[in-house]
Structure 1
Amino acid sequence: MASSVIFYEKPGCLSNGRQKALLTSLGHSLTVRDLLAEPWTAERLRSFFGAMPVRDWFNPTAPRVKQGEVRPETLDESTALALMLADPLLIRRPLIETECGRGCGFAPGPMLDALGVALEPEQDLQSCSRIGPDPHCERPSARAAIR
């Protein structure tokens, strides 16, 4: 069943582009928003993570995570949310909002099931599509704001 989907992405992200194309091909109507520019609050952002462990809220390919500066497995909820509000690149993408709820990431589970997305085991639409460092993945202004 096709539905309206609010899709929070990082503009220019190749993986988010493939995810949007799949949702559109299934007949869903997308409203695309810039995850990095959205005026998040801790309460609103928290609502996308449901029962996921805190470590899974994070984008594993975010520069600060890859470099070991942020270690999601060591964080509590409030610290994790504070870090994400200061540096939205840390948030696992996409965030998806539909009439059936909110979700984080593009991996098999209740949100994608509700949207009729059936990924093959070898089909990975969650991981970063870029090989090597991507200068678009780091926003200097965000980094400067939290130092």
Structure 2
Amino acid sequence: MATVYFYEKPGCINNTRQKKLLTAAGHQVIACNLLTEPWLKERLRAFFGNEPVHQWFNYSAPAIKNGQIDPLAISEEMALTRMLEEPLLIRRPLLQVGDERMVGFDQQKIDSWIGLREINIDSDLESCRRKAVDGSTAKLQP
């Protein structure tokens, strides 16, 4: 199986569930702190591949939620600059196996890439879930 470098926000519930799924599939997961990693533009850019710029963003980041940044109206260069300044903007996780990289946790893409085993786990492993004031679960889409 693969050795997966998994760039996460420590303590993120979804990232924890994603790592468990990878481990259950037989992969070795090396967790790295996305927020403290010494990113360079070129290295960070490599994780996004052909994804459109707006899909590079973590839509639950405060700067997006409060309207400071519009992922649909930002250039690639400015997106990378802002992400280096504010790593919470980066969509999670960033995954690397060998020289191949990807952003986000699309189970079908990952299964095609390195293989996943079917296990009983919530099918949405990418959207941020938070408890609302009334106790209901709010789901924030990327």
Give the shorter-chain TM-score range. Answer: 0.7 to 0.9
Runs (5+) with no aligned partner, structure 1: 134-147
TM-score by length of 1: 0.82
Could you give the per-residue CA deviations for residues 49-102 of structure 1, whole angstroms, max 9, x where no partner exists? 000000000001111111111111101110000000000000000000002610
23 and 128 in structure 1: CA distance in 2 versus 1, 3 angstrom threshold: same
Q: Give the count of matched residue pairs.
A: 131
The one-letter code sitting in structure 2 at the alignment partner of 1:126 is E
Higher strand share: 2
Give the RMSD, CA atoms, in angstroms: 2.0
Aligned to 1:73: 72
Structure-2 change in CA distance of 1:35 and 1:112 (3 Å): farther
TM-score scaled by length of structure 2: 0.85
Note if contact 1:102-1:111 (Cα within 8 Å) is conserved in structure 2: no
Offset of residue 13 of structure 1: 0.3
Percentage of pairs with the same residue: 47
Q: What are the within-5 Å matches in structure 2 for residues 61-100 of structure 1?
A: 61-99=60-98
* DSSP-derived class of the 1:130 partner: strand
| 1:7 correspondence with 2:6 | yes
User: Is the Cα contact below 8 Å between 1:95 and 1:105 reproduced in 2?
Assistant: yes
Which structure 2 residue ranges, 5 or more long, are not aligned? 134-142
1:43 alignment counterpart: 42
